[in-house]
Chains A and B, each alone.
Chain A
Amino acid sequence: MSNEDEHFADRLRAAWPAPKPSVGFDAALERRLAAPRPRPVWAYALALGAAAVAAFLLLREPLVIEVPALPAVASLAPPDDAFYAALDLEAEEEEWLPEDYAGLAEVLDL
């Protein structure tokens, strides 16, 4: 830094003197040190966000899920013959032949 620069800085400093701390500075500082620590900003943001989500969930239109109506249990009647006929579930009785019995006897070693 040149001498001219130094002189300029000196003049600027002299022309712009800074104040000293005020009389109440220490007392104010002690009060601030004793005050409880403020809650951080992110905590407020989090609380605000949670409140907004809760309000949205509470105030929006209720969610309706359509479930097909089921017949009442009491109204169910036992199936009739027509039901089985429709399903073609009528069992045909099988006729057992003597050779079937013989084969079975062989298998069972009777």
Chain B
Amino acid sequence: MVEATPRLEVVTREVAFGALVASHRARAVSLAWRLVGGDAAAAEDVAQEAFVQAWRALPSFREEAQLSTWFFRILVREANAWRRRMRLRSFWQELTGTEPAERRPTPDTGLTRRITAALDALPRGQRDAFVLVHMEGFSVTEAAAVLGSAPGTIKSHLHRALTRLRADLEDLDDAGVKGK
């Protein structure tokens, strides 16, 4: 009877984690893919690392937020860490004059690259908010909880991001994509 409680906790933890992976796997990869700029292998790596970190930190999860919100917070943090590592790596390669590693070719050479570049040019807060709300369908409240910001801040980020992206991608009109 003494061991029943911890064992039950472990079982509950495994069940909760299994459900989290099953229900959020696709969205996690999709969100990571957009946050890392369209690199499929990096997106899977980031999503898996976020799941691993969530599994390890699950005993300390205090249920102050929803499990999914908590997980996506980890995922966004992991994606931003990946971007920082890539920036450091490219900086080092420029410094040493070594050739940068070839990025995997994306299916669409023109448009994807332009969208990625436009999103890359945004400040981190604006990019994260835009991807969460307009690309992945999070509500402003959910995005605020994931990013740890006030909803008003998220709305401000969204407005600025949209203004800038519309200026950068103005040819993305109703008739399709010009210059593709």
Which of B34, B169, B172 interacts with A18 by CB under 8 Å?
Answer: B34
Chain B 94-143 interface residues, beta-carbon cutoff 8 Å to A: 111-112, 115, 134-135
Bound complex: CA of A1 vs CA of B166, how far in Å?
13
A39: interface (CB < 8 Å)? no
Chain A contacts of B115 at CB under 8 A?
12, 15-16
Any chain A CB within 8 A of the CB of B77?
no
Which listed segment binds A: B4-12, B49-57, B65-73, B83-91? Answer: B49-57
User: B interface, by DSSP: helix, strand, loop or mixed?
Assistant: helix
CB within 8 A of A7: which of B40, B49, B112, B174? B174
How many interface residues does chain A have, given as a range?
20 to 34
CB distance from B30 to the nearest CB of A (A): 4
Number of chain B residues whose Cβ lies closer than 8 Å to a Cβ of chain A: 34
Bound CA–CA A29/B48 (angstroms): 6
Show 13 residue pairs from A and B whose CB-CB distance is below 8 angstroms, ordered by the A residue.
A8-B165, A9-B162, A13-B135, A16-B111, A16-B115, A18-B31, A19-B40, A21-B25, A21-B44, A26-B21, A28-B48, A29-B52, A33-B52
